[in-house]
Structure formats: structure tokens, C-alpha cells
């Protein structure tokens, strides 16, 4: 057994041990008659598995998962395109960048939790407020990453373009666009994760569908199994999306290290 196999085996054993502790912790008294876990609060793995079965098979939970993922995908497109566009404009028009800097910082540091109720009032409980909430996370992440990458373009690189007879348009095509794309892909895994969080948060605040709304439904019923089932689903989806984002970065920009990205 090599090192990688031993690591996977240890992870598996730790996971099984934690599940067993979770399952039977409510029967283990720690202080007097109080158990290690209260199954009313944290439920049990078997109850969560049963709840997941009921949700997916009998209650159309897959549709809610699809709506959450769809809103996240739409927010990714809007946030990435908007962030890249503003980054390119800011880099090429330095005066405009300095003028807009305090406003960009203000909206970036504005806590998203205060935006959610206004999105709910203005746009209702549909898909649009989720997309806007998630896009607000992605937009600033992409903007600052791309702008940072563009500002790393050296004068030597710019002179090379000029020596070959290139103008500002050629500079954009041969330098800015590839470097901006590389830094966008560099931030892509985190953009996916943050966008997913933003979508679920807006659903949690006031959604009529999606995984977050199912969690609220379980919370209103004081059904720990349903709530934990949505938590498990969100954790699995978040991990999968982050891994997909990392894979996209490895596949589409294997050359980004050469650009310092």
C-alpha cells in the first residue's frame, strides 16, 4: 500500500468513525443524563438518509437543486462578464479608475446581508434576486483579480508589442485579453463557491423555491432531519462545484503560470 492509498484509507476510517459517533452519540451520556448529541437538534445519519430519499423521490427536491444550480450558473455568467468588463475599462482609463475607486470599494465592502431584504422587496421571491445576490459576490472577486493581473503587465511587454508595429487594439488582444482570462480562471473556483453561497443565502432569506427554501421549510417545522439533509446536499454541491471550477482552471489555462497568474 503506497502513501496515497494509506491517506485515502485513513480518511475513510475517520469518516466512518465520525458517522458512527454521530449516529449513536445520542445514546452516550456525557454529563449525568445528558447525551453527547441531541438527535432532536442534529438528527442522525440514518434519519438524514431517509429524509434525502423522501425529498428526492417523493417531494421533487431535484427540481429545487436544479433551480439553485441554474441561478448560480446565470450569476456566474453575469458576474464574470461584468467584472472583466469593468476591469478592462478601469485598466485602460486610469482617470476613470481613480474616480470610481471609492464607489467600487464602498459597494464591495457593503455587507450582502443588508442587500437581501431590498432585493426581496424590489424583485420578489423569484430567480432574479438570487442571480443578483450571487453575481454581486462574483463581480467584485473577478474585477479585483483581473485588474490586479492587468496591472502586472510590464513596460517591456508593452514595448515588444510596439516594436512589432502593434497599436492599443493589438495590445488588448495579445496581452490584456489572455492575462485577463488567466486571472479570471484563477478566481473561477472561488467565484463558483461564492456564487453558490450567494444564491442559497437569498433563497434562505426569501425564496419560493431552491434548496435554501426547503431548508426554511424544515426549520419552520422544527424538522432537524430535513434541515440537515439540505445542509448535506449543499455541502456536497459546494464541494463538487469547487472541484469543477478547479478542473476548469487546470484544463483551460495550463499556461497561466508562465504569465505569473
What would the pLDDT profile of 144-190 be if each residue is shown by its tens digit? 999 988 887 767 776 766 676 666 766 777 777 888 888 888 888 88
Q: Which residues of 129-143 are buried (b: 16+ CB within 10 A; e: fewer)?
A: bbbbbbbbbbbbbbb
User: What's the start-to-end Cα distance of the chain, in Å?
Assistant: 36
What would the pLDDT profile of 71-115 be if each residue is shown by its tens digit? 989 999 999 999 999 999 988 888 888 888 888 888 888 887 788
What pTM was computed for the model?
0.79
Among 114, 225, 138, residue whose Cα is nearest residue 215: 225
Which pLDDT band, with edges at 50, 70 and 90, does 143 fall under?
very high
Mean pLDDT of 231-241: 85
In sequence order, the 6+-apart residues with CB closer than 8 A to the CB of 89 are 96
Half-sphere exposure of 42 (CA within 13 A, CB side): 12
Q: Does pLDDT of 38 surpass 90?
A: no
Q: What kind of fold does domain 43-259 have according to CATH? A: MetI-like fold (1.10.3720)
Where in the chain is CATH 1.10.3720.10? 43-259
Q: Does pLDDT of 50 surpass 70?
A: yes
Amino acid at each position: 500500500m503506497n502513501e496515497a492509498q494509506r491517506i485515502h484509507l485513513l480518511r475513510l476510517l475517520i469518516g466512518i468513525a465520525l458517522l458512527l459517533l454521530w449516529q449513536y452519540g445520542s445514546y452516550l451520556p456525557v454529563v449525568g443524563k445528558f447525551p453527547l448529541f441531541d438527535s432532536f437538534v442534529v438528527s442522525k445519519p440514518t434519519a438524514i438518509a431517509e429524509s434525502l430519499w423522501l425529498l428526492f423521490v417523493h417531494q421533487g427536491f431535484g427540481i429545487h437543486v436544479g433551480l439553485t444550480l441554474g441561478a448560480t450558473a446565470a450569476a456566474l455568467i453575469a458576474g464574470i462578464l461584468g467584472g472583466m468588463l469593468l476591469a478592462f475599462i478601469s485598466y485602460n482609463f486610469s482617470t476613470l479608475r481613480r474616480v470610481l475607486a471609492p464607489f467600487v470599494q464602498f459597494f464591495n465592502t457593503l455587507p450582502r446581508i443588508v442587500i437581501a431584504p431590498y432585493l426581496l422587496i424590489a424583485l420578489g421571491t423569484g430567480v432574479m434576486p438570487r442571480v443578483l445576490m450571487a453575481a454581486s459576490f462574483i463581480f467584485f472577486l473577478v474585477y479585483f483579480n483581473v485588474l490586479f493581473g492587468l496591472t502586472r503587465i510590464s513596460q517591456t511587454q508593452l514595448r515588444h508589442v510596439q516594436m512589432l508595429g502593434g497599436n492599443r487594439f493589438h495590445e488588448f488582444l495579445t496581452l490584456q485579453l489572455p492575462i485577463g482570462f488567466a486571472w479570471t480562471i484563477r478566481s473561477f473556483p472561488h467565484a463558483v463557491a461564492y456564487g453558490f453561497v450567494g444564491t442559497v443565502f437569498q433563497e434562505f432569506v426569501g425564496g419560493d423555491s431552491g434548496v435554501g427554501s426547503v431548508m426554511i421549510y424544515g426549520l419552520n417545522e422544527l424538522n432537524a432531519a430535513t434541515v440537515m439533509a439540505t445542509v448535506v446536499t449543499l455541502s456536497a454541491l459546494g464541494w463538487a462545484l469547487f472541484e469543477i471550477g478547479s478542473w476548469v482552471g487546470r484544463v483551460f489555462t495550463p499556461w497561466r503560470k508562465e504569465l505569473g497568474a
